[in-house]
Chains A and B, each alone.
With several copies, the nearest count.
Chain A
Amino acid sequence: MEIDPFIFRLSIFILSIFIGYYVVWSVTPSLHTPLMSVTNAISSVIIVGAIIAALSGNEEVIFSSSSIYGFLAIILAAVNIFGGFLVTQRMLAMYKKKKKDK
């Protein structure tokens, strides 16, 4: 009578879609460009898979036919992670309120 973990993951997936829907609608339109860059950055959690793939070799064969794809994916994802978060930060740093004393 054990429930297949897949069902749980499906639940998590479906609930997250709802959250995505609401959380994105609540983003103020003036921040839609940073939204695009930050979603880009977070979708690079795919690096998790890349790391597992890259470390699938052993001490002798570090670059196997499968781990090499992992290493490539790591580079790609890392570009995105750093690029995405940093460019977002750069943009957000520019959004300033009017200074009171002006």
Chain B
Amino acid sequence: MSANLSATLYLISGVLFILALRGLSSPETSRQGNLFGIIGMLIAVTVTFLSVGNFTSGFVYVLIFLAIGGSIGAFIAYKIPMTAMPELVAGFHSLVGLAAVFVAISAFINPEAFGLGTPGNIKLASLVEMAIGAAVGAITFSGSVIAFLKLQGIMSGAPITFKGQHALNALILVSIIILTFYLCSTQSSNLFWILIAVSFLIGFLIIIPIGGADMPVVISMLNSYSGWAAAGIGFTLENTALIITGALVGSSGAILSYIMCKGMNRSFFNVILGGFGATAESTGDKKTEQRPVKSGNADDAAFLMKNASSVIIVPGYGMAVAQAQHALREMVDTLKKNDIKVSYAIHPVAGRMPGHMNVLLAEANVPYDEVFELEEINNDFANADVAFVIGANDVTNPVAKTDPQSPIYGMPVLDVEKCKSVLFVKRSLSPGYAGIDNDLFYKENTLMLFADAKKMTEDITKNL
């Protein structure tokens, strides 16, 4: 296949990837977008086969390995519960990172296959790109592994901090730059291996001080890194599809972490420098003062809702933990049969990743035109009868509007307190992710429903 033809086809596949992301601008076009993505990938893989043109028995092995990886991937994709998406994404990122490292290693050992020169005599530009690709890939890998372990609960979510941590990290980063520099002048393979090892280490060190609850921001950041790594390798391989995709993924991750930080009203550095989860937990322990709360049971809740004419549902992380989305949907169906208007209010950072609640509600067959964003629905609370808060906490906390001392001050919140009555489904009075108390629990018009979210919703449905 001529170089021009394959370059054109790679361009087409890059454009298809752009269209894949563009499709996500609305649910209707999103499925078509995904299809574009798949076609783009097919083109890229086919063109690569044809332009290498080496149909030896190696080719058969490639197909076999592809099939092995593909089946594993497909298996995971079908088995994974929707609630485990944050872990899944973290796990997948680690694989992209590692793949980038492997490709860089292979190119370093056998540069001829990539047309980059001979071993020990690799083109300077390619060597730099290769080193960057390998280092960023390695950081992505080890960082994502830690994120995965923390999210899965295999590793404690508590931030691991020690003295001189930031200094050590800075030192390692500097050493990576120096290593790259020497690698380029000496072309020594030892330096290359050291570079990769040190990059693995720094990825690990950067992530451990970050609390488990901040992992979503970290995942997005690593997503961004994996994009830049891919782009770096793209420059080495002189491949347009990789360069375009790398840049897309790089921006996408950066924007998502920005959106999350903004939704929490924290700066990116505040998240990355770590230690947030630690404060949170200690604050959580301190809150021992006892104020009176009104608590009720499923019967009370059912009564309140039966007499309401409009109900707004506010789901949060607890709904995901309890896997209560299906039970919730059934409750809402029953309400609707009684001619009660129901809508869902989704806070931008409800749950543990952007769009988390939307996916879960979609899984439970909630039509997306009943689901509203914060800005769309926030004015409606004043006219609604009941706010049904299920497993959400921080995203309803009015302290964000009133107390400049609070860590979440300035974060936009859902104005549930404006409803005639507020129902809170959670297991205890314990605080949410940000570790701060929620004054709403103690309000006149609040009824606490202490139970697991799924059980409580099922009970309410029975009582309706």
Contacts and interface: CB of A to CB of B under 8 A. Distances in A.
Q: So, do A and B actually touch in the complex, CB under 8 Å?
A: yes
Interface of A: 1-21, 23-59, 62, 64-67, 69-99
B73 A58 contact: no
Contact of B24 (A8, A27, A45, A93): A27
Interface string B316-355: 0000000000000000000000000000001010000111
A62 B65 CA distance: 13
Contacts of B362: 91, 94-96
Interface residues of B, number: 123
A32 B353 contact: yes
B220 A23 contact: no
Nearest to A79: B73
B8 A46 contact: no
B4 interface: yes
A86 B113 CA distance: 32
B62 A33 contact: no
Contacts of A59: 56-58
Interface in B60-91: 61-62, 65-74, 76-78, 80, 82, 85, 88-89
B217 interface: no
Contacts of A89: 31, 34
Contacts of B158: none
6 contacts: A38-B21, A39-B253, A49-B242, A53-B103, A57-B58, A77-B96
A11 B235 CA distance: 12
B69 A76 contact: yes
Contacts of B242: 45-46, 48-49
Contacts of A39: 21, 223, 227, 248-249, 252-253
Nearest to A86: B77
B464 interface: no
A26 to B, nearest CB: 5
Interface stretch (B46-54, B421-429, B452-460): B46-54
A43 B96 contact: yes
A53 B247 contact: no
B30 A82 contact: no
B393 interface: no
Contact of B20 (A6, A17, A30, A38): A38
A19 B22 CA distance: 10
Interface stretch (B104-112, B298-306, B397-405): B104-112
B62 A71 contact: yes
Interface stretch (B35-43, B274-282, B407-415, B433-441): B35-43
B355 A52 contact: no
A49 B237 contact: yes
Interface in B221-265: 223, 226-227, 230-231, 233-253, 255-256, 259
B358 interface: yes
A77 B363 contact: no
Contacts of A70: 102-103, 106
A57 B106 CA distance: 11
Given A43-B227, A48-B237, A48-B242, A79 B95 contact: yes
Nearest to B100: A46
Contacts of B98: 73, 76
B3 A2 contact: yes
A25 B107 CA distance: 35
Contact of A90 (B44, B78, B243, B355): B78
A86 B70 CA distance: 10
Interface stretch (B178-186, B207-215, B369-377, B381-389): B369-377
B61 A42 contact: no
B27 A92 contact: yes
A28 B97 CA distance: 27
A18 B19 CA distance: 10
Contacts of A38: 20-21, 24, 33-34, 37
Contact of A28 (B24, B54, B80, B107): B24
Nearest to A56: B113
A82 B77 contact: yes
Interface stretch (B9-17, B148-156, B161-169, B287-295): B9-17
A30 B24 CA distance: 9
Contacts of A83: 72-74, 76-77, 88, 92
B59 interface: yes
Given A13-B247, A54-B58, A71-B62, 17 more contacts: A15-B244, A16-B14, A23-B21, A25-B255, A29-B346, A29-B373, A32-B354, A33-B358, A40-B89, A73-B99, A74-B65, A79-B76, A83-B77, A89-B34, A91-B363, A96-B365, A97-B367
Nearest to B97: A76
**Ranked 7 nearest A-B pairs via Cβ:** A78-B69, A20-B251, A56-B113, A32-B355, A83-B73, A82-B73, A32-B354
